Amino acid sequence: MTSPTDAEISDHIAKAGRRAWEVPGLDPATPRREVRTVGIIGAGTMGGGIAMNFATAGIDVRIVETQQEALDRGLAVVRGNYQRSADKGRFAQDEVEARMARFDGRLAIADLADCDLVIEAVFEDMDLKKKIFTELGQVMKPGAILATNTSALDIDEIASVTGRAGDVIGLHFFSPANVMKLLEIVRAGETADDVVATCMDLAKTINKIAVLVGVCPGFVGNRILFARQKQANKLLYQGVLPWDVDAALNAFGFRMGPFQMSDLAGLDIGWSKGARTDNPIRDALCELDRRGQKTKAGFYDYDEARTPHPSSVTADIIRDITGAAPATMPQDRIIDTCIHPMINEAVKILEENKAQRPGDIDVVWLNGYGWPADKGGPMFYGDMVGAKAVLATMERLGAEDPEFAPARTLRRLAADGGKFTEIDTGGLKV
Ligand code: NAD
């Protein structure tokens, strides 16, 4: 393991952050589309937060829900967020009113017809999204940009129903969307150059850090997250307990480990009563109404102050399901088992040309997922530990599950001493 200096780490982070804005192949003189009014579909967790970014930047927002109550609820959350900031002295009360005055709540998608940009943030359901994008294709004015905030669905499939796929793009915000800096801009197969250029500029206007990525399940950030989550779950089958996995990742520098994060997000995402998914431990916890922090129990038990405590109920469930006796594993091995697959997945993303460059992957994880700054991002950290060490882990994990087989380029780096941060596979291709 090499130990870069603080200056080397901050230099890498600064350079990667600057380069992420560069889109090779996109003519800087590309005319931008004018964006004066933004339509948002869905005033839930994401829709409300996304809308706040625009209202804060002085842009009018028209926001659509299916029911008046949901619309009122969504707008009340927005007002509450602004009010809390004003109460803390971040801006004057007048500013709360000025921002709220930019909101216009509606109950019909057709009311968005003259918006310059529409961002869809309804439930993560392909049929629902296709229904909405079919309507957007019919009602929106020519030249409007049609964006989806989907976390992982195929944007080419969504675009295919609009009759104007060139106008369709992914704008993947992170939760809470009014706070998190990262914006994955997802270029689909037919997204027009001026739509990409306009959205990159718009990201700056709303004070985000944009990274341009391609369409693949989970895009860049979540795809790498899924790899870590799968390995964390596999560790439970070897008798390692969730709090031991989290403690190792906390020691690595993540404020939250995989199970702490699952409890915060809610274990019932993608679960319904009686469901038998590919994650039986999660299913069993949900059946007991241990659905995460919101039910005061998930992988952990929570007290009134929301402090997590290891749970004997969870430990018993895991033992019943996995049949594994409780085992201890050195923290270093837990870290390698969870982190090296993220590096391997990032390399596969670059091989598939779904990211522009290795530094962009670091920007995504530093700004969207709390990657510890002293480890520079997954690619930078890969160079700290070296490709040989990553390959050794992936050969072990790949032998258990072919999904984790070492990437071709990982083998090459290990053989010729190359660096992850210098991988050049030709950039983004759609
Ligand atoms: P949510 O359930 O909080 O909100 C969805 C809202 O959409 C609800 O208020 C619902 O009433 C509304 N809605 C449903 N159908 C509608 C329609 N036809 N017209 C208008 N409104 C409609 O969900 P969320 O967490 O905000 O997620 C929304 C999208 O954002 C999903 O695609 C999700 O994958 C994605 N996303 C979520 C997160 C996250 O952390 N929650 C992060 C990034 C992306």
DSSP state of 211: E
Cα–ligand 1 centroid distance for 125 (angstroms): 9
Looking at 275, 301, 322, which one is the last position of a domain? 322
Q: What pLDDT band is residue 269 in, cutting at 50, 70 and 90?
A: confident
* Residue 262 and residue 403 share a domain: no
- Does ligand 1 have an atom closer than 6 angstroms to the CB of 64? yes
Verify whether ligand 1 is closer than 6 Å to residue 41 (CB atom).
yes
The whole domain housing 335 covers 1-25+220-238+329-430
Mean pLDDT of 28-32: 95
CATH number of the domain encompassing residue 100: 3.40.50.720
Residues 6+ apart with CB under 8 A from 71: 43, 63, 64, 65, 105, 106, 107
Query: 149 CA distance to ligand 1 centroid (A)?
Result: 9
pLDDT bucket at 430, cuts 50 / 70 / 90: confident
Residue 378 in contact with ligand 1 by CB distance below 6 A: no
What is 360-407 written as a DSSP string?
HHHHHHHHHS---GGG-SHHHHHHHH-HHHHHHHHHHHHHH-GGGPPP
> Are 117 and 169 found together in one domain?
yes
Compute the average pLDDT of residues 397-423.
98
Domain containing residue 417: CATH number: 1.10.1040.10
| Residue 199 and residue 146 share a domain | yes
- Ligand 1 contacts CB of residue 65 (under 6 A): yes
**This prediction's pTM:** 0.97
CATH of the domain at 273: 1.10.1040.50
> Is residue 175 in contact with ligand 1, taking CB distance under 6 Å?
yes
**Greater confidence, 275 or 167?**
167
Range of weakest confidence among 74-78, 277-281, 412-416? 277-281
pLDDT band at 270; cut points 50, 70, 90: confident
Q: Does residue 191 sit in the same domain as residue 136?
A: yes
Give residue-wise pLDDT tens across range 389-409: 999 999 999 999 999 999 999
Q: Are 177 and 148 in contact (CB under 8 A)?
A: no
Cβ 222 under 6 angstroms from ligand 1 = no
**Element of type H or E holding 283:** helix 280-287
Percent of the chain with pLDDT over 70: 100
Q: How far is the CA of 14 from the centre of ligand 1 (A)?
A: 33
Whether 150 lines ligand 1, by a CB cut-off of 6 Å, is yes
Q: Are residues 243 and 350 in the same domain?
A: no
Both 261 and 393 in one domain: the answer is no
Quick one: average pLDDT of 138-164? 97
121: exposed, middle or buried (C-beta count within 10 Å: 0-12, 13-18, 19+)? buried
Average predicted confidence (pLDDT) for the chain: 97
Measured distance CA(52)–CA(75) in Å, rounded: 10
Per-residue pLDDT for 259 more than 90?
yes
Q: Are residues 88 and 194 in the same domain?
A: yes
**Atom of ligand 1 minimally distant from the CA of 49:** 26
Query: Which of 322, 350, 379 lies at the terminal end of a domain, its last residue?
Result: 322
Amino acid in position 242 = P
42 CB near ligand 1 (under 6 Å): yes
pLDDT tens for residues 65-77? 999 999 999 999 9
Shared domain for 384 and 335, answered yes or no, is yes
Atom of ligand 1 at shortest range from CA of 46: 26
Domain identity same for 201 and 159: yes
Task: Please name the residue whose Cα sits nearest to atom 44 of ligand 1.
Answer: 151
* Triad 368, 369, 371: Cα angle to 5°: 115
- Residue ending a domain, among 285, 306, 322, is 322
- For ligand 1, the distance from its centroid to the CA atom of residue 307, given in whole angstroms, is 28
pLDDT for res 111? 98
Tens-digit pLDDT profile for residues 290-311? 999 999 999 999 999 999 999 9
Could you identify the residue written with the tokens 């229904």?
A: 131
70 & 211 share domain? yes
Separation of CA 70 and ligand 1 centre (Å)? 12
44 lines ligand 1 (CB under 6 A): yes
| 344 C-beta closer than 6 A to ligand 1 | no
Q: Tell me the mean pLDDT in the region 357-364.
A: 98
Write the pLDDT tens digit of every residue in 200-256: 999 999 999 999 999 999 999 999 999 999 999 999 999 999 999 999 999 999 999
The tally of domains found in the chain comes to 3
Indicate whether 193 and 295 sit together in one domain: no
Both 226 and 207 in one domain: the answer is no
Q: What does DSSP assign to residue 237?
A: T
Ligand 1 centre to CA of 387 (Å) is: 39
